[in-house]
Amino acid sequence: MIVKQLSVFLENKLGRLHEVLEILADNDVNIVALSLADSSDYGMLRMMVSDPEKGREKLRENEFAAKLTEVVCIGVSHAVGSLGKAMGKLADAGIDVEYMYAFANGDQAAAVMKCSDPEGAIEILTKGGFQVYQEKDVYLKQVGKE
């Protein structure tokens, strides 16, 4: 299924990332995975979090440009060539991957990707034997607080 990623626009200003993380922490939103892309003027923070709707709402209340993006998340076994196999299937089907990042998830890795056709990607990857994560697999249960 399609999962929701929390995306936040960040100006290149000292402490902005810290503010985002604090807002999420104060509201018990846990970050499962994140990626931070940068340009000379701004950055784009993309996260898998325990409660994306709540995360977006709290960030908006604090005047951040935050939105939810539909992405696909799959499990990839720790074996040489397994991610490549998944990409091959998407390429054969003519589906573009706009960006991707990965995180460790127990004994396997997980890859989050933004695709030109998320439904198509899910269908192809499921048929190809990949584990496509459900929301509950990604938005991990609330864990302890620092």
Partner 1 sequence: MMWNEPKECMSRDELSHLQGARLVKMVERVYHNVPFYRKKMQMMGLEPGDIKGLEDLVKLPFTTKDDLRDNYPFGLVAVPEEQINRIHASSGTTGKPTVVAYTRHDLSVWSECVARGLTMAGLGRSDRVHVAYGYGLFTGGLGLHDGAAYLGATVIPMSSGNTKKQITLMEDFGATALACTPSYAMHLAEAVVEAGRVPHIKLKAAICGAEPWTDAMRDTLEQMLNIKAYDIYGLSEIMGPGVAQDCPYHKGLHIWEDHFIPEILNPDTLEPVGPGERGELAITTVTKEALPLFRYRTKDLTSIEYSKCECGRTHARIARFTGRTDDMLIIRGVNVFPSQVEAALLEVDEVLPNYLMTVDRQGNLDTLEIQVEVEERFFSDQMNQLQSLTRKIEHVIKQALGIAAQVKLVEPKSIERSEGKAKRVIDKRKL
- The residues of the shown chain that bind partner 1, judged by CB under 8 A, are 5, 7, 9-11, 16, 37, 39, 41-42, 44, 46, 63-65, 67, 69, 98-99, 114
Task: Rank residues 10 and 130 by Cβ distance to partner 1 and give the closer one.
Answer: 10
Task: Rank residues 64 and 130 by Cβ distance to partner 1 and give the closer one.
Answer: 64
Task: Rank residues 69 and 108 by Cβ distance to partner 1 and give the closer one.
Answer: 69
Task: Rank residues 82 and 100 by Cβ distance to partner 1 and give the closer one.
Answer: 100
Report, in Å, the least distance between residue 92 CB and partner 1: 23
Report, in Å, the least distance between residue 7 CB and partner 1: 3
Number of CB atoms found within 10 A of residue 34's CB: 19
Tokens linked to 78:
């720790």
Report, in Å, the least distance between residue 75 CB and partner 1: 23
Task: Rank residues 7 and 105 by Cβ distance to partner 1 and give the closer one.
Answer: 7
Report, in Å, the least distance between residue 60 CB and partner 1: 8
Report, in Å, the least distance between residue 137 CB and partner 1: 22
User: Which of 40, 53, 47, 52 is CA-nearest to residue 17?
Assistant: 47
